């Protein structure tokens, strides 16, 4: 076993429903867990090839959380007008990067973004995959497809469905 990174100590919650237990050490390779040594009593010794060792004593080690539904491009808009009209695509993309980092720091390692402004979630996902900045794994979509009087057709008719909104109005068969 090649152990590039090891956590030592702490309490392990493994996500199976088992009671928390002492963590002796946990080995990771390429960002993936390859071995866990946990439980009461002495465990096997730390691998001799461990390059980085971090002390997790006094901390809890657990699997990453998954958010099944969020919208990275929305930010903390106080209303639909702020969300759809008052922020440029560029600003929304920067805000999406900021929120992706915040989500990751909160323990969420994967989330689904089923639709939002422009292609922000798609761009943020691609930038994370390209290694431009750290972030969670993202399942992403672009704007919602909508019809009249549907989920994202909420502005008065004289405003219409703006291109900067979260919905793309579909009319007709094509």
| Topology classification of domain 5-63 | Urease, subunit C; domain 1 (2.30.40)
Contact 138, 125 (CB under 8 A): yes
- 41's torsion region: left (phi>0), alpha (psi -120 to 50) or beta? left
The class that CATH gives domain 66-169 is alpha beta
Q: What is the pLDDT of residues 40-56, one digit of tens each?
A: 888 888 888 887 788 99
- In angstroms, the CA 7 to CA 50 distance is 10
- In angstroms, the CA 47 to CA 26 distance is 10
Q: Give this prediction's pTM.
A: 0.77
Contact 60, 10 (CB under 8 A): yes
Count of CB atoms situated within 10 Å of the CB of 84: 22
Output the pLDDT for position 2: 52
Contact 36, 26 (CB under 8 A): yes
Calculate Rg over the CA atoms of the chain.
Answer: 22
Contact 115, 70 (CB under 8 A): no
5-63 and 66-169 agree in CATH topology: no
Task: State the pairing for strand pair 144-146/167-169.
Answer: parallel
- Residue-level pLDDT, tens digit, the chain, 174 residues: 555 789 999 999 998 999 999 999 999 888 788 889 998 888 888 888 887 788 999 999 999 999 999 888 887 778 778 778 888 889 889 999 999 999 999 999 999 999 888 899 999 999 999 999 999 999 999 888 888 888 887 888 888 788 888 888 887 776
Cβ-Cβ contacts under 8 Å for 39 (sequence gap 6 or more): 21, 22, 24
Residue of 75, 133, 140, 73 lying closest to 104 (CA atoms): 133
Cβ-Cβ contacts under 8 Å for 11 (sequence gap 6 or more): 20, 21, 22, 23, 59, 60, 61
The ranges assigned to domains in the chain are 5-63, 66-169
- 55's torsion region: left (phi>0), alpha (psi -120 to 50) or beta? beta
- In angstroms, the CA 14 to CA 3 distance is 19
């Amino acid at each position: 076993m090649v152990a590039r990174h090891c956590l030592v100590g702490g309490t392990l919650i493994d996500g199976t429903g088992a009671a928390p237990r002492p963590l002796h050490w946990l080995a990771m390779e390429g960002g993936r867990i390859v071995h866990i040594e946990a439980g009461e009593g002495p465990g096997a010794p730390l691998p001799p090839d461990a390059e980085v060792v971090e002390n997790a004593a006094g901390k809890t080690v657990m699997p990453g959380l998954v958010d099944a539904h969020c919208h990275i491009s929305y930010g903390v808009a106080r209303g639909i007008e702020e969300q759809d009209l008052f922020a440029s695509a560029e600003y929304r993309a920067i805000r999406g990067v900021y929120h992706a980092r915040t989500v990751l720091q909160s323990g969420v390692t994967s989330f689904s973004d089923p639709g939002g402004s422009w292609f922000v979630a798609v761009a943020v996902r691609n930038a994370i995959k390209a290694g431009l900045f750290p972030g969670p794994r993202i399942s992403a979509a672009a704007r919602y497809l909508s019809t009249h009087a549907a989920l994202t057709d909420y502005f008065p008719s004289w405003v219409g469905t703006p291109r900067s909104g979260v919905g793309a109005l579909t009319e007709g068969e094509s």
